[in-house]
Amino acid sequence: MAKNKKATVASTGVFGLDEILRGGLPASNLYILQGAPGSGKTTAALQFLRAGLEKGESCIYVSLSQTAAELNAIATSHGWSIEGIRIEELSASDAVNSAADQTIFQTAELRLDETRRAIEAAIEEHKPDRLVYDSLLEIRLITGDTLRFRRELLGFKAFSAKRNVVALVLDTQTSGPDRSGEEVEGIAHGVIRFDKSLEEYGSVRRRVEVSKMQGVPVADGYHDMAIREREGVVVFPRLVPGTASETVKPQLIKSGVDELDEMFGGGRESGTVTLVIGQSGTGKSTMSSLYATAALKRGESVALFLFEERLRNILPALRGHGHGPAAVPSGWAIDHP
Ligand SMILES: Nc1ncnc2c1ncn2[C@@H]1O[C@H](COP(=O)(O)OP(=O)(O)O)[C@@H](O)[C@H]1O
Ligand SMILES: [Mg+2]
């Protein structure tokens, strides 16, 4: 049955994140996704389940914090269908009402028991390959103390491991840096952190860090991340100098102007960075764009990042240097603010 369909590595469904994880999440384990409210956990979790659906896996979203309608709204805002994902909406407060006359201690115990039983029943019934648990914060609030909380998480880990579930457990970080990270780090097979920060100026900066992944030499440190309409959470693995494939031989990149190439000993070496310095109007942009047009003519793709000039200002400069109006605009993907 479904178990045979499962690969040993589960794709996260998040562009770029699988690359950092060297393929995805090592299957049938418990992973924690931490982040402040609004950092993208729920969005990424939906992507994770959608990736499972695509492979014909059975997927459950256990939600203690968001209603099915809220989850649907998030999916709809990206144009996604989450049909086929089983949503178990467990209100952590249901049990309180039924036990209003109990002491506070018993109430907490009852709520925990009911929540745990509901999750286990859902797992037994639907036999998911992938499960999202949103979020640990609610359990943390009910248990109140670390020991009880750890025991609860360990119990869930053992239960889901026995049933071959890849569980992605969301952990909402409240104020302050990582108040609760360590107690769960030890239990999970892997911990992924979404970070959201505001700079002095400009838009919010989103980053991701894989702070633990057992048995996987992940790309460590921060990697940039964004939440985009339709794509959802996307990750841009950091380029690490020296990790480019060594089998690729350096080539000499030509500008198309023989004298210039000769001056550089045949061209600029591929895989290197060249800084062009000069006063304004001395021809920095024009010289650099020679390499871009020459590469386009060779049929290669080129990225040009313009911060000062507009494309409409730079195009006449290119044409003025005899590179022909027709050759330049075709093949240029124009993407500038
Ligand atoms: N349709 C969308 N397109 C782009 N970004 C969105 C869209 N919908 C929500 N977002 C962004 O995603 C964030 C919410 O992400 P969410 O996954 O709900 O976070 P968390 O579960 O960590 O609280 C919002 O704060 C918003 O910035
Ligand atoms: Mg959420």
Which residue ranges make up each domain of the chain?
2-236, 252-323
- Give residue 262's pLDDT: 93
Q: How far apart are CA 255 and CA 302, in angstroms?
A: 13
193 lines ligand 1 (CB under 6 A): no
Judged by DSSP in three states, 177 sits in: coil
Among protein residues, the one whose CA lies closest to atom 17 of ligand 1: 40
State the alpha helices, DSSP H only, in 88-244.
94-98, 104-126, 136-143, 146-162, 181-185
CATH code of the domain occupying 2-236: 3.40.50.300
Q: How far apart are CA 227 and CA 39, in angstroms?
A: 9
Q: Is the pLDDT of residue 326 over 80?
A: no
79 lines ligand 1 (CB under 6 A): no
Q: How far apart are CA 102 and CA 181, in angstroms?
A: 32
38 lines ligand 1 (CB under 6 A): yes
Q: Which of 87, 132, 126 is nearest to 2 (CA)?
A: 126
Q: Distance, CA 205 to ligand 1 centroid (Å)?
A: 13
39 lines ligand 1 (CB under 6 A): yes
Give the number of the ligand closest to the Cα of residue 193: 1
Q: Can you tell me which atom of ligand 1 is nearest the CA of 135? A: 21
Confidence band, pLDDT 50/70/90 cuts, at residue 96? very low
Cβ-count burial 310-321 (b if 16+ within 10 Å, e if not): eeeebbeebbeb
What's the whole-number mean pLDDT along residues 147-157?
92
> How far, CA to CA in Å, does 23 sit from each of 79, 87, 218?
26, 27, 10
Q: Distance, CA 239 to ligand 1 centroid (Å)?
A: 26
Q: Is the pLDDT of residue 332 over 90?
A: no
Q: Is the pLDDT of residue 56 over 60?
A: yes
Confidence band, pLDDT 50/70/90 cuts, at residue 336? very low
Residues 6+ apart with CB under 8 A from 44: 12, 13, 14, 17, 33, 194, 232, 233
Q: Distance, CA 134 to ligand 2 centroid (Å)?
A: 7
Name the average pLDDT for the chain: 85
Confidence band, pLDDT 50/70/90 cuts, at residue 4? very low
Q: Is the pLDDT of residue 232 over 60?
A: yes
Residues 6+ apart with CB under 8 A from 157: 30, 167, 187, 188
First vs last C-alpha separation in the chain: 50
76 lines ligand 1 (CB under 6 A): no
143 lines ligand 1 (CB under 6 A): no
Give the number of the ligand closest to the Cα of residue 38: 1
Among protein residues, the one whose CA lies closest to atom 13 of ligand 1: 38
41 lines ligand 1 (CB under 6 A): yes
Distance between alpha carbon 82 and the CA centroid of its chain, in Å? 19
Q: Is the pLDDT of residue 211 over 90?
A: yes
